[in-house]
Amino acid sequence: MVNLRRPNWGDLRKLFETNLNIKFDDVPCFNNVNRVRLLNNCFKHSNGTINEDFAKNSGGTEGDDIEYESEDWEKLISGCKTFLLQLANKIKNRRA
């Protein structure tokens, strides 16, 4: 059951993918969205250091500082935009 008062990424993703039958992994540039999500979680929950999820997905050693300034933010932002536009297009085409 999804707690809509305090949803988490896994619950929302499962709900979205199940109801629309669209897998995020199949949408172009999902890797950019996921990287931003992982970076945000490290900043928010791990004081800007690599946590277990980030290490599994992107490498590095747990507890090491993330060098946010070395991220290619333009690429990440552009990728997130592409993902959202592609996702919207998939949803639109399902309803057409």
Count CB-CB contacts under 10 A for residue 68.
Answer: 11
CB atoms within 10 A of CB 24: 13
Q: Is residue 9 part of a domain?
A: no
Q: Phi and psi of 3, rounded to 5°?
A: -90, 100
- 24 within domain boundaries: no
Give domain status of residue 13, yes or no. Answer: no
- Whether residue 54 is contained in a domain is answered as yes
Q: Are 2 and 11 in contact (CB under 8 A)?
A: yes
- Predicted confidence (pLDDT) per residue in 54-80, tens digit: 999 999 999 999 999 999 999 999 999
User: In whole angstroms, what separates CA 68 from the centre of its chain?
Assistant: 16
Name residues of the chain where pLDDT drops below 50: none
With a CB cutoff of 8 Å and minimum separation 6, the contacts of 15 are 2
pTM of the model: 0.85
The number of domains in the chain is 1
Can you give the residue range of the structural domain that contains 85? 29-95
> Does residue 22 fall inside a structural domain?
no
